[in-house]
Structure 1
Amino acid sequence: MANVAFLGLGVMGYPMAGYLKKGGHEVTVYNRTTAKAEKWASEHGGAFKATPKEAAEGQDFVFCCVGNDNDLREVTLGADGAFQAMKPGAVFIDNTTASAAVARELGEAAKDFDFLDAPVSGGQAGAENGALTVMVGGDEAVFERAKPVIDCYAKMVGLMGPTGAGQLTKMVNQICIAGLVQGLSEGIHFGKTAGLDIEKVIAVISKGAAQSWQMENRWMTMNADKYDFGFAVDWMRKDLSIVLDEARSNGARVPVTALVDQFYGDVQKMGGGRYDTSALLARLEWK
């Protein structure tokens, strides 16, 4: 068992850190709001520290799941950042969905220790059930050392390539989700407008080529106009902005993704920034 730190106790990080503790590791947490870190430590029996630097000191593995590139730089490279205290041979594992550029930047900054970019997919439910998919970029030997620990909160962990490849794979994931949710929204909207029984429609088409995770897990709430749960539209727009920035940089053409990003902007204007990403249907039906 390892000595582990976890930085960032949001809706994802809080349960992920819990699964590391359940896996038998000694876990120390840090959160910008100290009261939340104290609450986690009280619930799980771990420790908490006031700064990322203090939390990272002496740890074998340091995990991180924060909001964006700037948050990530603050908790790693800042004056009280974790990189100031990482012990030689330790591994920093970043679960934040961030840019490939910042992943490479942090990989370069990790001198006497190792770095893996390891964004996750599965949303809040995946984190709470310890069933996330983890896409990792970094050195294979480092990955093999870290994988047994990452497995505590994951159902699938894959090494995708060198540093930055994890973040690039997460971008592919979000591109696919954006197109699928828009297609499902249009399908349900079309079916309802045409007077079809959507339950019967989904029961049939979900057994054919149109089947997807989104269809299986979201059609019912979408049909009931319920969106107050799940992966927020605000977060999806953050992720898609990373995708579109990367596409501009590497020359990839992602016209559908760019269009769906605009549609999510419409949902935000409707007051749905915290709605689940399946709220694209609400945009089609908004009067």
Structure 2
Amino acid sequence: MSQDISTVAFIGLGVMGYPMAGHLAEAGLTVRVYNRTQSKAEQWCERFDGSHHATPAEAASGADLVLVCVGNDDDVREVTTGPDGVLSTLSQGAILVDHTTASSSLAEELDQACQKQDVGFIDAPVSGGQQGAENGALTIMCGGQEEHFSRARPVLEHYGRAVTLMGGVGAGQLTKMVNQICIAGLVQGLAEGLHFAEQAGLDQERVVEVISQGAAGSWQMENRHATMIRDEYEHGFAVNWMRKDLDICLNQARQLEARLPVTALVDQFYADVQAMGGGRWDTSSLLRRLRERSDSKD
């Protein structure tokens, strides 16, 4: 535990933030939480040792480190630079860490706002999903100054198994974009492979058992093939959130003049899943899209 960080505020107790904040409380830190739905914050305090507060500003008052994990760019602005945002009470020398998957331009915007108040800033999106958050095994991609990262890292390691400084402000978000671009292609490839195996009359479980030992193996294959085969998608990372993330990726790609043809195609496949009523299904539901399209031709 970092000696100069003893009190932290955690803003946003969703499926990720709830267990992440819990790890900090279990580590002995003083944790002050805020959630838009107050009942969720009250529930958190019944399970963990900490206090809940009416506004982000109130939660951040007196904190050495503030951690934000909310939905999108506008949500981040509301809880940071808004009228009741954390920057209205955050003390000089404190650090603001944004775990939200957001745009790199927002990271730069927040860094400028923090600099005006002598507050450190780190953009630190995470990967690993709800399971990774609960197990304290997230991958955390950070952007910011080495000085701020060194102070915050011991705290982040309470729920991150790999906490890495990728570069200056915005580098964390850019790295997360690479992560989502790679996942999009992997999940579509896995969905197509399982669909092909099914259509060919193969034992899908046995196919995965064999090919997962070779070059085709991946985290997605290991952790998602079984539920995909059973056509179960009421879990994991929602399609709605993946489309939000891919929109960020595609917008950034246009600015960089980077070509992402597969990512753009998979984004449209996810739009099809949304049209099927699967906005809250896991991203592996790309297989259901293929199955339904195949069934419609019978």
TM-score scaled by structure 1?
0.99
Give ranges in structure 2 of 5+ residues lacking alignment: none
Report the CA distance between 1:97 and its aligned residue: 0.4
Residue matched to 1:215: 221
Q: Does 1:137 align with 2:147?
A: no
1:176-215 aligned at under 5 Å gives the runs 176-215=182-221
Aligned to 1:32: 36
- Name 1:52's counterpart in structure 2: 56
For residue 249 of structure 1, what is the aligned residue in structure 2? 255
Aligned to 1:153: 159
The 3-state SS of whatever aligns with 2:157 is helix
- Matched residue count: 287
**1:219 & 1:47 partners in 2: Cα distance?**
40
2:105 corresponds to 1:105: no
The structural deviation recorded for 1:18 is: 0.3
Question: Cα RMSD over matched residues?
Answer: 0.8
Report the AA paired with residue 198 of structure 2.
K
Amino acid at match of 1:143: F
Runs of 4+ in 1 over 2 A off after TM superposition: none
* Percent sequence identity over aligned pairs: 63
Pair 1:163-2:169 in alignment: yes
* Cα distance in 2 between the residues matched to 1:38 and 1:209: 47
Query: Which residue does 2:241 correspond to in 1?
Result: 235
Q: CA deviation at 1:250?
A: 1.1
Aligned to 1:73: 77
Q: Which residue of 2 aligns with 1:117?
A: 123
The amino acid that maps onto 2:173 is Q
Residue 43 of structure 1 and its aligned partner are, at CA, apart by: 1.4
Distance 1:83 1:250 in 2: 31
Task: With the length of structure 2 as denominator, give the TM-score of the two structures.
Answer: 0.95
Q: How far apart, in 2, do the equivalents of 1:201 and 1:113 lie?
A: 53
- Consecutive unaligned residues in structure 1, runs of 5 or more: none
Matched with 1:175 is 181
Q: Partners in 2 of 1:45 and 1:197 — Cα distance?
A: 49
Moved more, 204-213 or 35-44: 35-44
Give the CA deviation at 1:35: 1.5
The letter of the residue matching 1:191 is: A
**Counterpart Cα distance in 2 of 1:198 and 1:40:** 41
After superposition, give the CA deviation of every residue in 1:31-80 in whole Å (9 maximum; x if it has no partner).
Answer: 11112111111211201110111111110000000000000000000111
**Letter of the structure 1 residue corresponding to residue 243 of structure 2:** R
